[in-house]
Amino acid sequence: DGGITQSPKYLFRKEGQNVTLSCEQNLNHDAMYWYRQDPGQGLRLIYYSQIVNDFQKGDIAEGYSVSREKKESFPLTVTSAQKNPTAFYLCASSISRGSWETQYFGPGTWLLVL
Amino acid sequence: GESVGLHLPTLSVQEGDNSIINCAYSNSASDYFIWYKQESGKGPQFIIDIRSNMDKRQGQRVTVLLNKTVKHLSLQIAATQPGDSAVYFCAFKGSNYQLIWGAGTKLIIKP
């Protein structure tokens, strides 16, 4: 099956700890995105990557970091600098670097702070 | 900044009736608009999109209407079914080519 996978579904972080959320796609899409969703809210863009080895900050990049070493993978690290990380994190991809339309989403990861 | 507004947090509809979900967008220059459906605990799913050179587009049981004069976007769902229960998001392409998302409308289906 083609699609986007995110793991784990639930992730727990201790204070002061960095955690990495996985996102993998086998759709052969060039562009990938990370969004944060707080309960009852819309999506806010954290980072996006239009092509391998390139990524750009979104609206709320502070306290997060990403890498794009492979076309299929776009992991997100939530660092200890992110003071309020509890949220639902969504990864998405779109077919080409200029194609902001029709983003395909993964199932999401819940990040909870202990 | 760019934003999406004019949304109802919750909309209750009788099963079998038509549903209409509304959004207002801020950027008159935007040329692309999209609706997503998000079921509880899942990622959003694409429903339908429309470009600014159109004012109406139809899919299976769904219709999107775009009124550029008043910067208003709506999603109509015909003969609403229990499986339509979800949060519906509108989004538009912002000036920096990123999608600007609304806060979503939760559609509740009454039996």
Distance (Å, rounded) from C-alpha B57 to C-alpha B75?
10
Q: Could you write out the three-class secondary structure of B22-71?
A: EEEECCCCCCEEEEEEECCCCCCEEEEEEECCCCEEECCCEEEEEECCCC
A44 CB within 8 Å of a chain B CB: yes
Nearest chain B CA: its distance from A107 CA (Å): 5
Least confident range from A46-50, A70-74, B52-56, B97-101: namely B97-101
B49 CB within 8 Å of a chain A CB: yes
Q: Give the pLDDT of residue A33.
A: 94
Q: Give the pLDDT of residue A99.
A: 52
Q: Is the pLDDT score of A2 beyond 90?
A: no
Q: Give the pLDDT of residue B99.
A: 84
Q: Which long-range contacts (CB under 8 A, 24 or more apart) does B61-67 make?
A: B62/B35, B64/B33, B64/B35, B66/B33
B7: which 2 tokens?
């949304």
A48 CB within 8 Å of a chain B CB: yes
pLDDT-derived band at A111, boundaries 50, 70, 90: very high
pLDDT-derived band at B2, boundaries 50, 70, 90: confident
Contact A100 B98 (CB under 8 A): yes
pLDDT-derived band at A95, boundaries 50, 70, 90: confident
Q: Is the dihedral of CA B73, A96, A79, A77 positive or negative?
A: positive
pLDDT top residue among B5 and A1:
B5
Q: Give the pLDDT of residue A103.
A: 87
Dihedrals phi, psi of B84, to nearest 5 degrees:
-85, -5
**Residues of chain B numbered 51-110 and touching chain A (CB < 8 Å):** 89, 93, 97-99, 101-104
